[in-house]
Structure 1
Amino acid sequence: MEEATSSDLTCGNLPRHLSSFVNAFVDFSVSGLFFPNTKPNNPSAPTPAISTRFPAPSRLVAIGDLHGDHSKSLQALALAGLTDPFSLRWTGGATVAVQVGDVLDRGGDEIRLLYLLHRLKFEASRAGGELLTILGNHEIMNIEGDFRYVTPEGLDEFKQWGRWFRVGLSMKHLCSGLEKPSDPFKGIPTSFPGVKREFWEGFRARIAALRPDGILSRRFLSGNQTVVVVGDSIFVHGGLLQRHVEYGLERINEEARDWINGLKGRRSPTYMRGRDSVVWLRRFSEGFNCDCQHLEGILAMIPGVRRMVMGHTIQEQGINAVCENRAIRIDVGLSKGCSNGLPEVLEINGGLDLRVITANTLYDHRRVMREEEKDGLALLVSENRLKEVEAAA
């Protein structure tokens, strides 16, 4: 991400710089975050490619579902050593981190989290690291206009975003030489039968922001992978079946991106819908009776991959693994809108050393592990369990 300099300013591109200034003003008003000055976006630029495979880093971290809870998400990020809890800046250095989706719904800080993750991506890249964010079923639902898990606080946040965005539109209309921006609210109903009147404005703003080619969906979600391979680990929100791998991981990512950008109609791709879809599947994340042979067959189809890391299904006992650590489930129900679970993150060092970093080693499921031998701060665990280390939240 290159910073703009005075030499970049010309009569020809000055309007776009003014537009970028207005965008920065709206961003700060909405999120309280400052984004460094950058060269203005070129609307005619081609859609950037989306990467599916990344080389193994020395340190890899995975974070589960966040569901609109800003404060608990900050705890998880700090627990992983990725951010400073006061400045909220990236401190993870060359760490590669994967957040497995479901930033939206169940809480009132959805937009704040989208902005925060967006800025951390830039900062991580500058530090030699990477922050990868995956699409969850709740992102897909919201893009399709399914708001059944939205909270009143979430609707109010979108209402406030909509008002600030309209202020930005008005500012741009005052600047001669600027191409008049289209109104993203155009064509959206102003009333919604069956919805309380007090929520209509929030519903309308949410549609404008998150529908295919929406203001926030294009900016914050279209670059998200649906499935991503980092070293010998594959990350997906729900899970993968043989037919998904045969369809093509790169193809899934590219088609999902194009759909979010408004190039594929209103309905999500078929592999995003239904109980056996990549974002809804629970076959490898419920209980400990996992079909390990089936899982191993799927992993064998993906060169170099030895484990699948999933979110989506809350693990009341905390992050855990089955099938000799081939299936790792990391959704701890972190958000207060879910089960208000204790923050935990998965850490993989050098591709082999797997451990859970937890805010509290006295969490109930730790009790069954006390008979194992300790290794420093880590707790060595037997088959189907991971090393654990205690850290301050």
Structure 2
Amino acid sequence: MNISYLRNFSCIYFLIIIWKFSYVYNESYSNIKWEHDLFSISDLHSDLDALKKTLLTENIIDEENNAIRENVFVIITGDVLDPAYDDIEILYFIQNYNIKAKPLNSKIQLILGNHEVQNICLDFIGNKKYGEEYKARNKLFKKGEVLYNYLLDLPFVIKVNDILFSHASILPYYAKRGIDYINDEGRSEIKNNCTLLKFKRKTGQRFCVCCYNGPTFNRYFSRAAEMPFRREVCKSLFKTLNKLSAKKLVNGHTIQRNRKVNEYCKGGLIMADTGISKWKYGVINYVQYFQDGSYKVNYINSDI
């Protein structure tokens, strides 16, 4: 198990403090207008190399990890964290990039997935073999710590132009409250290492962003891949899109059986998790979105 994040903790702290002063937090992610290059990357699950390969392929960074391309917006749809390998290094890398890229009007935006929620809730315990290392790791996510504060400021759902991005399904029940409400309530749930979330789970509260029906965990829309369910799933999806004034929803979370990015519901749903991480299936993909509503799926080091 790689615990290099402990060695780099002071660097992470320094960079994020700088970032706090250099970047104004965007409290609303409900209607971002972007006229330049737009990309999304699905679940990285600790694979920093996959992230770098993607950015290098598009000349977003150079071999020394410097930001070199102007006007680029990259969205990572959650599940960067896994309690092993390079996951903390990815957070370090993203923030380092955002500091360097700000003068270029470029940015990487991370969305919270269920793995980020589990970390901030201190739910990743690990097995007995790595017990002490996981215990040390959990300290990095405790209330008031740098990584806790960083994750607490991240959104669960964002809309760029007319495209929604979230880790998992946004059911109509959630969509009717709006993106800002979802993000604000989700943030409240994970505050104080998930005090409210644990209460909601215990009492069975229906509106719970970080519970199993919420947009960090729910897999309902992924069932569009199954013909018996497609009609009802798409009907539900279209309700969500209508309520949030969007034309597409991009999700990760559910690895696609054919290891390809798949489109369902007349183009309204893009399921983009191909198992990018070398510790999953190693099928590296990213999606580029264009102003005319079209998009292009790109694969790296794959026969697909």
Q: Output the TM-score relative to the length of structure 2.
A: 0.82
Unaligned runs of 5+ in 2: 1-6, 201-207
Check if 1:124 corresponds to 2:124: no
Match of 1:284, SS state, is: helix
How far is the alpha carbon of 1:258 from its aligned partner?
4.1
How far does residue 93 in structure 1 lie from its aligned partner after superposition?
1.4
Match of 2:123 among 130, 146, 151: 146
Which 4+ runs in 1 deviate beyond 6 A? none
Which consecutive unaligned segments of at least 5 residues does structure 1 have? Answer: 1-25, 42-46, 151-194, 364-393
> Could you tell me how far apart the structure 2 residues matched to 1:260 and 1:212 are?
10
Q: Is the 8 A contact 2:165 2:251 kept in 1?
A: yes
Equivalent residue letter for 1:281: N
SS in 1 for 2:221: coil
Q: After superposition, where does 1:328-347 map in structure 2 within 5 Å? A: 328-341=270-283, 343-347=284-288
- Contact 1:102/1:136 (8 A) holds in 2: yes
Tell me the residue number matched to 1:54: 32
Q: How does 1:102-181 map to 2 (within 5 A)?
A: 102-105=79-82, 107-147=84-124
Deviations 1:179-213 (A, max 9, x none): xxxxxxxxxxxxxxxx53x5333222222112444
Q: Which residue is 2:260 aligned to? A: 318
Distance 1:88 1:133, change over 3 A: same
Q: Does the 8 Å CA contact 2:41/2:286 hold for their aligned counterparts? A: yes
Query: For the structure 1 residues 72 and 264, does the alpha-carbon distance in structure 2 shift closer, same or farther, using more than 3 Å as the test?
Result: closer
Q: How far off is 1:29 after superposition?
A: 5.9
Distance 1:233 1:106 in 2: 31
Is the 2:120–2:194 Cα contact (8 Å) retained in structure 1? Answer: no
How far residue 241 of structure 1 moved from its aligned partner, in angstroms, is: 0.6
Q: What secondary structure does 2:92 align onto?
A: helix
1:382 equivalent in structure 2 = none
Give the direction of change, closer, same or farther, for the CA distance of 1:71–1:215 in structure 2 (3 Å limit).
same
Matched, 1:206 2:155: no
Alpha carbons 1:67, 1:107 under 8 Å: kept: no
Q: Which of 240, 264, 268 is 1:298 aligned to? A: 240
Structure 1 Cα separation of the partners of residues 122 and 16 of structure 2: 32
The answer to whether structure 1 residue 350 and structure 2 residue 269 are counterparts is: no
TM-score by length of 1: 0.64
**In the alignment, is residue 231 of structure 1 matched against residue 158 of structure 2?**
no
- Residue 242 of structure 1 corresponds to which residue in structure 2? 172
Amino acid at match of 2:277: S
Maintained 8 Å contact 1:346/1:354? yes
Match of 1:9 in 2: none
* Cα pair 1:59 1:348 within 8 Å, conserved: yes
Conservation of the 8 A alpha-carbon contact between 2:82 and 2:115: yes
The question of whether the paired residues in 1 share the 8 Å contact of 2:34 and 2:160 is answered with: yes
Q: Is residue 2:220 matched to residue 1:283?
A: yes
Query: CA offset at residue 35 of structure 1?
Result: 4.3
Report the secondary structure of 1:281's partner residue. Answer: coil
Alpha-carbon distance, 1:145 to partner: 2.1
Kindly name which structure, 1 or 2, has the bigger radius of gyration based on alpha carbons: 1
Deviations, residues 204-240 of structure 1 (Å, cap 9, x unaligned) = 2222112444431213x12211000000100000010
Distance in 2, matches of 1:326 and 1:108, equals: 34
**Per-residue CA distance 1:50-92 (angstroms, 9 max, x = gap):** 23131032321000001111212211222344222x1112233
Shift of the alpha carbon at 1:133?
0.8
Cα distance change of structure 1 residues 37 and 107 upon mapping to structure 2, 3 Å threshold: closer
1:262 is paired with a residue whose SS is helix
Asked if residue 262 in structure 1 is aligned to residue 199 in structure 2, the reply is: no
* Aligned-partner SS, 2:130: helix
In the alignment, which residue of structure 1 is the partner of 2:3? none
Counterpart secondary structure, 2:183: helix
Q: Which residue of 2 aligns with 1:70?
A: 48
C-alpha distance 134-39 of structure 1, shift in aligned 2 (>3 A): closer
Matched ranges for 1:93-108 at <5 A: 93-105=70-82, 107-108=84-85
The count of residues paired between Structure 1 and Structure 2 equals 281
Q: Is the 8 A contact 1:79 1:344 kept in 2?
A: no
Please identify which structure carries the higher helix content: 2
For the 8 Å contact 1:68–1:105, the answer to whether it is kept is yes
Q: Which whole-Å CA distance do the structure 1 matches of 2:188 and 2:166 have between them? A: 19
